[in-house]
Copies of this chain bind each other. A is one copy, B any other.
Amino acid sequence: MAIVLNRTSVADRSLSAVQAGLFSARSESSSSHTSDALGRIGVRVRFAKQETIFNDGDRADHAYKVISGTVRLCKHTQDGRRQIADFLLAGDVFGGFSGVDEHSCTAEAVSDVVLMSYPKLQLDRLGNSTPGLSGYLISVLSKKLLKTREHLVVLGRQTAKERVASFLLNLAERAEVESGDSLDLPMGRQDIADHLGLTIETVCRVITDLKRSGIVAIPHQNQLLLNSIAALRAIVSSEA
């Protein structure tokens, strides 16, 4: 049960030039100047599958960027219900920024994960001396807010089938996968259910349905062959 592949020590830094390069992966709006500055204050850390990165309520003294692997952000209720607010993939930024003292979610590694960790204090200081950085963070937060609001539509107004289709389309887009390609599902069915506000059984039934309609195929349970992204889009065509 105990996980041994624990986070590397803070002393384990790689070349900052490499960090800078990794930081800017998938973030086109971040200037190289900004990346360099961030590379200098970032530390590479590793978490094993299912390991906790931080807990809801913990003091938020770091921000993170995903280098590889998948992270989930969860909210838990007292009676054990769980809502996964977001899955974070390579290039995504998360954690504590200016003006937030405590983490408002639990972050856990869905797969083995490599992150860059940025101390909030240094990040704030850097923000004042690096003009582009604040704008970059504002832009990142604005986009996350926008995506989260789109997810409100999924949870508030879509059927089970539409939710699963929306989820697969989102993943496919972020993984830059097209019709005919296969898509990795790093998270289990329960994670998908808790992201979509469904039960694991309903998620299974919908996927089975998609399989029967020939829209997807399941070579392995963590992998999914997307025969027709257009058909998925048709399912959520209700979207604006």
Contact = CB atoms under 8 A, between A and B. Distances in A.
A194 B156 CA distance: 8
A137 to B, nearest CB: 5
A173 to B, nearest CB: 16
A152 B153 contact: no
A149 B75 contact: yes
Contacts of A100: 139, 142-143, 146
A134 B127 contact: yes
A136 to B, nearest CB: 8
A157 to B, nearest CB: 4
A135 B196 contact: no
Given A139-B98, A145-B145, A152 B150 contact: no
Given A105-B149, A152-B155, 13 more contacts: A75-B152, A75-B153, A79-B238, A83-B152, A97-B139, A99-B136, A99-B140, A134-B137, A138-B138, A148-B152, A151-B152, A155-B155, A156-B194
29 contacts: A56-B240, A75-B149, A75-B240, A77-B238, A77-B239, A78-B239, A81-B153, A81-B238, A82-B157, A85-B152, A97-B139, A97-B142, A98-B138, A98-B139, A98-B142, A99-B138, A99-B139, A100-B139, A100-B142, A100-B146, A124-B135, A127-B135, A134-B134, A141-B142, A148-B149, A152-B152, A152-B155, A155-B156, A156-B194
